[in-house]
Amino acid sequence: MGEGSLLIIVTTLVIGFVIGIILNHFWPLFFKINNNNGSTTTIVIPKGTFGWPLLGETLSFLKPHPSNSIGTFLQQHCSRYGKVFKSHLFFSPTVVSCDQDLNYFILQNEDKLFQCSYPKPIHGILGKVSLLVAVGDTHKRLRNVSLSLISTIKSNPEFMNDVERTALQILQSWNSKKQVIFWEESRKFSFNVIVKQVLGLTPDDPQSATILQDFLAFMRGLISLPLYIPGTPYARAVQARSRISSTIKAIIEERRRRRKHGDGDSKRNDFLEILLCVDTLSEDEKVSFVLDSLLGGYETTSLLMAMVVFFVGQSQKALDQLKEEHHNIRSTKEKEELLNWEDYKKMDFTQKVINEALRYGNVVKFVHRKALKDVKFRDYVIPAGWKVLPVFSAVHLDPSVHVNALQFNPWRWESDEQICKKLTPFGGGSRCCPGFEIAKVEVAFFLHHLVQNYRWDVEEGEQPIAYPYVEFKNGLTIRLHQNCT
């Protein structure tokens, strides 16, 4: 490296450092707004720092950490500035909220004071009509269809039977195994369930394998650096989405052809069959709807299931109570009789375990919003146009909200007091995940057979890590011990 090149680098760093100092120290903590009567009002924005130019503090905010902790960035900023502070994240001035009341306020004022605002590259992968990024009337229309579909499916005996049979197939494949990589097993389970429920495909269907291969590329790109350069994970994800869309369109056309010629299966009641009868959705919206369903039913459900197994594997007391609850349910049924909706509603302690795994494991750390107007909350104002990040994990792990917050304790949910504020793993308000009950059914039915047949030990060193998406670096390897009775 020549002296001239070195001088350029040093000069650039110095200029960047100076600009960062200017932004941090001279960006106003106060704004003056003009009133209609000609007077001015001073408004205060939360304290904080903007970090480096352009990148701001994004890299520090996204630094990996155990998902059952809030991480160094939030610890330091909350200690220095309080639970609500300003920053510069994702190329935008941002207010970060680790406050229970503000988070709830944000979620309950969707499309009134705040609006979903995911980074543009996410739109490039998910598509413009995805339920996850749509806003306003489009989101309301798509969500109404989603809620209608899910209410039809979730307690349907055929769906519940498919879930249980898939769980039994997974567990039967463990008969000769001493250990399994559970995250792989949970993903296999959730994919087999969702692809059958959404598209009517079995795991042995060639189209299932094609969709899974493309879907894995899609998932890797969803959380990658957004550079559309051939060969990058992001570019591969965009291409994978295009291929998945083509596969889904081909399945839709084949389904329509069979219906037209009267050789379709009149007994089908999967998502796709119902979607074909919905006139309020365009063709692209139907394809996007299927992709959203696969995304939610695959990644979130499999991760939740892995979280439950990880935490219960370290709590003998919770495992014993789960085993007792499911033994009591099984004792009321014939040997080969499958579970039903009434059985699911009896799984009271199972629900507490799932809730606690969601709270302590934090499948979703935060969501993206922006302020539609100047929003006053307590003694400060969130300026219009600023990004707003309600951090769910910070409330879930807040000792002032949850006693012994850094302990796995399902029994804390014996009281339902203000649960909608204390626990927001699926978001809240009009953007609360519509399929959360389906995910819980799948996990509960899998647990029903798991705890009656196995005990397990989690390999030392395993831990869920937030990137901010969550994964188990070693795949959550567990050692299996078959129950004697």
Feature table: binding site for heme = 433
The residue behind tokens 């598509």 is 127
Whole-number Cα distances in Å, 264 to 119, 257, 269, 287, 380: 42, 8, 12, 20, 60
Q: Which two tokens stand for residue 165?
A: 């049979």
CA-CA distance, 483 to 333, in Å (whole number)?
A: 20
Query: To 10 degrees, what angle do helices 283-295 and 206-222 make?
Result: 80
**Cis before residue 468, ω within 30 degrees of 0?**
yes
Q: Which two tokens stand for residue 348?
A: 């009271």
The residue behind tokens 């005990």 is 455
Q: Which residues are annotated as a binding site?
A: 433
The residue behind tokens 């299966």 is 265
- What are the E-state strand segments in 286-412? 369-371, 375-377, 380-382, 387-390
* Residue 471 neighbours by CB under 8 Å, 6+ apart: 183, 303, 464, 465
**Torsion (CA) 444, 445, 447, 452 in degrees, nearest 10:** 140
Cβ 64 vs Cβ 467: under 8 Å: yes
Phi, psi torsion values for 266, nearest 5 degrees: -70, -15
